[in-house]
Amino acid sequence: MFSIRKLLGHDDKFYDLLEASAQQADTSVHHLVALLAKIEHHDSPQSLETFVASRRKDKQITQELTEQLCKTFVTPLEREDIQALAAALYKIPKTVEKIGERVLICPQDLEARHFKKHVELLDRAAETVLAMVKDLRKGIDAATAREKNTKLQTIEGDADALELELLRELYHGDYDAKQILFLQELFELLEKVIDRCRDAGNIILQVVLKYS
């Protein structure tokens, strides 16, 4: 049984910060799900305020974590592992915000599209990452970490297949050049969010295996 608590002692600040970062990542995905739902129902989103707030909050968390590492003289868990996980988590809301920016450029080009599959994959990936980060506080064995990381790998594979399917439909459909460029970038960014979640899961698994 791996326990990051044994490695970082009884100071919970590292758990708190990593979990807060994972929560912001999950929250940002929920904002994106809500934005896509609005577009499907022909509502007109007006701003990215909620996306920006999540990304800024996560940036603050990441900066505070870095400061705490600098103030801590001895950390039995390698600093590089903590920093790598924090950086991977921060990339999730950052990428989600980019999607929101693109969507608001031309939301009318998306009104006829359905994002149910994207939403399901995004939500499952973010929730799995959040669960894995929370497991670090409780202690997680290698088998459980592998199982959850395999789930992320499966989600990422499904997202790749979905992107290919959508691109095939896009290139063979009745779209003008502007729409093709717009939708292609959007599909790639949606898939990239799931890649970011997979990257965070890989780091957690590596840490667990290193210290199990």
Confidence of residue 137 (pLDDT cuts 50, 70, 90): confident
* Percent of the chain scoring above 70 in pLDDT: 89
pLDDT for res 135: 92
The highest-confidence range among 68-72, 169-173, 194-198, by mean pLDDT, is 194-198
Residue bearing the bigger pLDDT, 27 or 12: 27
Beta bridge mates, 2? 140
pLDDT for res 25: 94
Alpha helices in 1-48 (DSSP H): 4-8, 13-40
Q: Compute the average pLDDT of residues 2-12.
A: 51
Q: 171-183 in b/e burial notation, b at 16+ Cβ within 10 A?
A: eeeebeeeeeebb
45 pLDDT exceeds 70?
no
Tell me how far apart the 2 most distant CA atoms of the chain are, in Å. 61
166 pLDDT exceeds 60?
yes
Confidence of residue 44 (pLDDT cuts 50, 70, 90): low
Confidence of residue 112 (pLDDT cuts 50, 70, 90): low
pLDDT for res 102: 87
Q: Compute the average pLDDT of residues 156-163.
A: 94
Q: What are phi and psi of 140, to 5 degrees?
A: -140, 135
Residue of 184, 119, 131, 111 whose CA lies nearest to 158: 119
Report how far residue 156's alpha carbon sits from residue 162's, in angstroms, rounded to the nearest whole number: 10
pLDDT for res 42: 67
pLDDT for res 189: 93
Q: Which CATH number fits domain 4-211: 1.20.58.220, 3.20.20.100, 3.30.300.30, 1.10.1040.10?
A: 1.20.58.220
Report how far residue 61's alpha carbon sits from residue 28's, in angstroms, rounded to the nearest whole number: 15
pLDDT for res 73: 65
107 pLDDT exceeds 60?
yes
Mean pLDDT, the chain, as a whole number? 85
142 pLDDT exceeds 80?
yes
Report how far residue 57's alpha carbon sits from residue 21's, in angstroms, rounded to the nearest whole number: 8
